[in-house]
Amino acid sequence: MVKSYIVKISRSIFLCLGLLLASCLPPRLAEPGVVSASPVSTNAIRAIPLPSKTPEATSPPAQANFPSCEPAAGILPFKIVANQEIAQPTDAPSLRLLAKQRNLFVGAATDPGYLHKDNAASQLLAREFNMLVPEVAMKWEVIHPEPERYDFSRGDALVTFARQHGMAVRGHVLVWDLQMPDWVTNGKFTRQEWMQILCTHIKSVVGHYRGQIYAWDVLNEAVNQDGTLRNTFWMSKLGPEHIAMAFQWAREADPTAKLFYNDNGGEGLNPKSQGIYALVQGLQQMGVPINGVGMQMHTSLGRAPAASELAANMQRLAELGLEVHITEMDVRLQYSTSDLATKLAEQADIYREVLSVCLSAPNCKAFLTWGLTDRYSWIPGFTGKPDAPLLFDKDGLPKPAYFAIVKLLANQ
Ligand code: G3I
């Protein structure tokens, strides 16, 4: 029963992608075998113009279904100020030191707003982590608040901080339907204009940080719980072909950044993870440049995915040649009625188990929490209830979960 349901989801996603991606992919992306297997004829595909100039297509396309675009006027590449000091990571025992020995990135989501004010927090971030991800600084409403205006100041501050402290950066996020400015959510544009808007946004943001970002979350949360594609804002404006184009535009803007699909709730084996698997496999088969899957891992006591399922999910993505990052882990305590010590011990078990699976999976390359300390977690604001979902408490002191993962990383 479950198996046949999963097979149905895969078939519907493949069919959807087959029909719709084939109609937008440039010829150089389409593998001949895959294209000829699609219901759309190869001639029809060849007639579709390239999204931008490539060595194979130097003349303007005859049909402009999918416009090419350049970064917005005036976008300059990010540059670290020449005389800024680059701090050397200390030799003090830390997550990052232990993780480096295991060839793993450990990171946290952060915001320049509090790093600037809270010296202890910025020291903690630099001491413990070798990767950071902007929690909001690169989201559309912050970085591109008006049609003709980009504001890279907050993103630049984080990339500068990362450079100064020898940290890698995950870019978050290019295509998502939350935290978008009013000019986009309330915009009235033609399909062609929407395509141009998305293309220019991606080219401008990714182009500005070209060479500075280890991995971009190109597409965020596009799959429903039942494994079907969500009717997102961009889906309603552009249809599913925007997915392939977003990855392609990001690749053109930065040939070295790893390009990720990122989602929550598809960490274990369930209809959603099956849908994600079908989506990324379908994209790969169409020749779309995708390098990995982000597993957000927002979880709570008693609700974490089974380790065996997480491992199996990572394994099947490895077989596709895809990297996996645990991108946004936090573990809520608020739904448990146990005493605090028990809750913290259970939280530590969940962190240890997820990291343990990641360490055993050769394709799991990064482990990040969504926030630095409990003081800066998004959870209390979101649920309206106090919580303590991260590795460090409100004062930046390590919790049992921190010690559990230190022990694991140290092979103790
Ligand atoms: O900036 C305004 C501030 O001016 C205002 O005073 C305040 C009043 O509520 O709101 C502030 O904006 C908040 C914003 O975060 C800035 O921190 C928004 O209300 C709030 O909704 C927004 O929440 C963010 C959320 O994404 C948006 O959906 C969270 O911080 C952020 O942690 C969260 O992150 C997402 C990932 O991007 C994707 N995966 C899920 C994850 C959790 O939802």
In three state form, how does the secondary structure of 228-243 look?
CECCCHHHHHHCCHHH
Is any ligand 1 atom within 6 A of the Cβ of residue 36? no
Instruction: Give the separation between CA 211 and CA 139, rounded to whole angstroms.
Output: 19
Give pTM, 2 decimals.
0.87
Model confidence over 152-175: pLDDT tens digits? 999 999 999 999 999 999 999 999
Q: Please check whether residue 199 is in contact with residue 68, taking contact to mean a CB–CB distance below 8 angstroms.
A: yes
Contacts of 348 (CB under 8 A, 6+ apart): 399, 400, 401, 403, 404
Instruction: Give the separation between CA 362 and CA 357, rounded to whole angstroms.
Output: 10
Is any ligand 1 atom within 6 A of the Cβ of residue 111? no
Sequence-ordered strand ranges (E) for 73-214 = 105-110, 131-134, 168-175
Cα(74) to ligand 1 centroid in Å equals 29
Query: How much is the pLDDT for 15?
Result: 45
Is any ligand 1 atom within 6 A of the Cβ of residue 29? no
Query: How much is the pLDDT for 68?
Result: 78
Where is average pLDDT lowest: 82-91, 141-150, 224-233, 296-305? 82-91
Decide if pLDDT at 360 tops 50: yes
Is any ligand 1 atom within 6 A of the Cβ of residue 328? yes
Shortest-distance Cα residue to atom 22 of ligand 1: 179
- Relative to beta strand 215-220, strand 168-175 is parallel
CA atoms within 13 A on the CB side of 72: 19
Residue 138's nearest CA partner among 234, 220, 50, 26 is: 220
Model confidence over 78-115: pLDDT tens digits? 987 655 555 655 556 799 999 999 999 999 999 999 99
For the chain, first and last CA: distance in Å? Answer: 43
The token pair that represents 14 in the structure block: 């493949």
Decide if pLDDT at 251 tops 90: yes
- With b for 16 or more beta-carbon neighbours within 10 A and e for fewer, the 236-257 pattern comes to ebbebbbbbbbbbbbbbbbeeb
Query: How much is the pLDDT for 412?
Result: 78
Q: Which atom of ligand 1 is nearest to the CA of 179?
A: 27
Query: How much is the pLDDT for 55?
Result: 30
Q: Please check whether residue 98 is in contact with residue 409, taking contact to mean a CB–CB distance below 8 angstroms.
A: yes
Query: How much is the pLDDT for 35?
Result: 22
Where is average pLDDT lowest: 40-49, 66-75, 267-276, 325-334? 40-49
pLDDT band at 13 (very low <50, low <70, confident <90, very high): low
Decide if pLDDT at 37 tops 60: no
Which sequence positions are flagged as catalytic? 221, 328
Cα(199) to ligand 1 centroid in Å equals 24
Cα(136) to ligand 1 centroid in Å equals 7
**Distances, alpha carbon 87 to alpha carbons 90, 91, 123, 161, 210, in Å:** 9, 12, 11, 10, 22
How large is the average pLDDT for residues 18-34? 37
CA atoms within 13 A on the CB side of 114: 17
Decide if pLDDT at 8 tops 60: no
Q: Please check whether residue 253 is in contact with residue 212, taking contact to mean a CB–CB distance below 8 angstroms.
A: no
